[in-house]
Chains A and B, each alone.
Chain A
Amino acid sequence: MILDYLVLSIVLFCLGILGVISRRNVFTVFMSIELMLNAANLAFIALSRLHESMDGQVLAMLVMAVAAAEAALALAVVILLHKHTGKLDTNVFSLLKG
């Protein structure tokens, strides 16, 4: 049974990657990252159940805290982006072009 949870976690993680690399909308990209974090959380908790130890749950909590910090910063960046360009497109930034 635990394996099913882990498989679900893998599926969600891959969908998260897919969202990050295929979408240009800043919000979608951001939420895809959150999806990947959640997939990881699910794996942590499933393994915590498997080993009957609560360390995995603690780690999941820490991940949540980090996700909250990330959300605060990322949304600030999104607001700035929208203020400067009026767009929500990640392709607006191409300063790294060689």
Chain B
Amino acid sequence: MEQSAAYLGLIPLLPLAGATIIGLLHLSSCQTCKLSERTYGILACIAPILTFLFAIKVFLDLHGLPVEARQISYQAFTWFKVGELDIAMGFFADPLSSLMLLFVTFTASLIHIYSIGYMAGDQTFGKFFAYLNLFLGMMLILVLGNGPVVMFVGWEGVGLCSYLLISYYSEDRANVLAGNKAFIVNRIGDLGFVLGMAFLFWAIGGSGFDYISLKANAHLLSSTTISLVCLLLFLGATGKSAQIPLYVWLPDAMAGPTPVSALIHAATMVTAGVYMVARFSFLYSLVPTVGLIVAWTGILTALVSAIYGMYQDDIKKVLAYSTVSQLGYMFAGVGLAAYSAGIFHVFTHAFFKALLFLGAGSVIYALHHEQNIWKMGGLRTKLPITYWTMLIGALALAGCPPFSGFFSKDEILYLALATGNPGIWLIGVLVAGMTAYYTFRMIFLVFHGSPRDQGLFDHAHEAPTVMTVPLIILAVGALFAGVLNLPAIFGGGQVVSHWLAPSLAELHPEASHETEILAIGASVVAFFIGITIAYRKFGSGAEVPVFTGFASFAYHTFRINELYDLLLVRPYKAIGSAIEYFFEPQVTDGPVQLTTWFYRAAGTVFKLLQVGYVRIYAIYMVIGLSLMSLLLSQSLK
């Protein structure tokens, strides 16, 4: 029933090979023999486009199989084998990973093309594309890995690329610190992932540690073990997907180049956590309590970051918090065992969020790296393509029917209501309204009204074709992606849900049509309220606000960073200094120093024996011989 296909192994290999080639070319190039940006750009785009074609092939191959047998896999080689632990470097595609594969490679291709324009004139053009290709390779390993261990390779790999790309402009210390923060916060999550994997292996790993065997053996686990494993894995997901309490790194990650923010910190990598929970749906669906924790964490993250988003003044920070907020929705979805709804939101989110980030990149590019929205305004006429595409993206994000974001978000909210969690639903609706508000606050401030900085405005110009074409393609995606999963109430066939069904252990709650209509109605109303407030306040220009009270608190993101600094970072640093100044010199270095002192003393003593006369050395030898003779005489009778 399982099909094998060697080309699966080729999919991650292509971008990795691309990264190696570009990286080596970049390293070996000098000032005079530097390759043109064009060459690098074309080289870099080959791998993503080829992988996209392969992704289509995977999709078609799966489509050709009967519904229950939609799995293809390929075992490249045995990676390591220790005791019962037998890990193969294997790849595995089922409907879930094929969907991920499709949109990851699609957005990656577009963002690679866009980057050729955005990064033009950058000194280390080759390095950037080497990292991007490396990221794509790692992401594909994550998506296609046939077991938790292979997934973990990709998981760490994308973390590494994220770190490298956040700190890309490493001349600025703040960027390096942001990269460090992302890396360190992710480590905390990864610890959870590793522990979860270890527990899982300890419990049932002996009889195969890939998804298929795990799924088959999941019934052997006690519910306590499952809960523990699921919670630990979810800790990993909160790190990678920026959920409470580990979301703090994502806003700082905006220090990287904008295409990176679009690809890694919006469309693909940060959704890895959602993908992972969906991947382990056969475990999560067995413990609804843990699912509820996941859902509540998600929806609270969505609420908190939506509040932050309403007060930010950096265009990329607004988008970053909206990403965190949308990720919260996704976790609410997968937490409520509505895996296909969560994954569908991942899918549509990839389109409109990549679109918004690329649009923001285009604005930033036009304004010579100005990111403060209070210095923009009236850009509608100067950047028409960017304006219209971003407007589509914003409508999709805000959940305006019939844009893609509406359907996916609404599905999650409806399922929250259907599974009997009105609390989650209420917060979700509230967040939907807030999303509409802050999204259109940004749109109005940037594109409407009158210019706030005339100098910047005068020099603004539309981005080159290589950047606008990806915008247009993504805008089309953001418009129509939602149609793919049109719910039955609108006469749709829920194509995506049906496609994903074989991969997921999903519950299908029954609910009345009234509930569905209530959910949809509430979302639409929230959207309109949000957009109206935004229009009232910012529709025709607004002054730079002075935040006081709660607004100031929210502007400073509830001072969470300071709190973490106070509660975690400083004690940790204090412990570190204590070790450095007391423990290390006094306790651990003591024996070491003693040893060196002993050897020095012994050396001084033995130096006296080294008189330099060969005759004396002969005497030493004879003394040794004599002592040996004494010893041997003892044993000889």
Contacts and interface: CB of A to CB of B under 8 A. Distances in A.
Interface of A: 17, 20-21, 24, 29, 90-91, 93-98
Contacts of A98: 606-607, 609-610, 612
Contacts of A93: 612-614
A20 B611 CA distance: 17
A21 B612 contact: no
Nearest to B606: A98
A97 B615 contact: no
A96 B615 contact: no
The main secondary structure of chain B at its interface with chain A is helix
Contacts of A17: 622
Nearest to A14: B622
A82 B615 CA distance: 18
Contact of B612 (A20, A24, A29, A97): A97
B105 to A, nearest CB: 69
B619 A21 contact: yes
A83 to B, nearest CB: 19
A29 B615 contact: yes
A55 to B, nearest CB: 26
Contacts of A29: 615
A90 B615 contact: yes
Given A29-B615, A97-B610, A98-B606, 6 more contacts: A21-B618, A91-B613, A95-B612, A96-B610, A96-B612, A98-B607
10 contacts: A17-B622, A20-B615, A20-B618, A29-B615, A91-B613, A94-B612, A95-B612, A96-B610, A96-B617, A97-B612
Contacts of B609: 98
Interface in B575-628: 606-607, 609-615, 617-619, 622
A95 to B, nearest CB: 7
Nearest to A94: B612
Nearest to A29: B615
Nearest to B620: A21
Task: Using C-beta atoms within 8 Å of the partner chain, give the interface range for chain B.
Answer: 10 to 19
Contacts of B619: 21
| Interface core residue of A29, A95, A96 (most chain B CB under 10 Å) | A96
- Listed residue (B607, B613, B617) with the most chain A CB atoms within 10 angstroms of its CB: B613
Per CB-CB distance, the 5 closest pairs between chain A and chain B, nearest first, are: A97-B612, A98-B610, A94-B612, A96-B612, A98-B607
Nearest to B621: A21
B612 A90 contact: no
Contacts of B607: 98
Given A20-B618, A21-B618, A90 B610 contact: no
Contacts of A97: 610-612
Contacts of B617: 96
A93 B618 CA distance: 14
A92 B177 CA distance: 66
A71 B607 CA distance: 33
A96 B609 CA distance: 11
A94 B622 CA distance: 20
A29 B613 CA distance: 13
Contacts of A20: 615, 618
A87 B622 CA distance: 26
A90 B611 CA distance: 13
A27 to B, nearest CB: 14
Contacts of B610: 96-98
* Most A-side CB within 10 Å, residue of B609, B615, B622: B615
B633 to A, nearest CB: 14
A21 B622 CA distance: 9
Nearest to B607: A98
Contacts of B615: 20-21, 24, 29, 90-91
Contacts of A96: 610, 612-614, 617
A92 to B, nearest CB: 9
A24 B618 CA distance: 12
A90 B614 CA distance: 8
A91 B615 CA distance: 8
A78 B386 CA distance: 96
A60 to B, nearest CB: 23
A87 to B, nearest CB: 14
B206 to A, nearest CB: 60
Nearest to B623: A21
Interface string B139-167: 00000000000000000000000000000
Nearest to B617: A96
A95 B614 CA distance: 10
B292 to A, nearest CB: 76
Contacts of B612: 93-98
Nearest to A20: B618
A40 to B, nearest CB: 15
A94 B613 contact: yes
A53 to B, nearest CB: 26
B613 A90 contact: yes
Nearest to B625: A17
Contacts of B613: 90-91, 93-94, 96
A20 B618 CA distance: 8
A91 B616 CA distance: 10
A9 B619 CA distance: 21
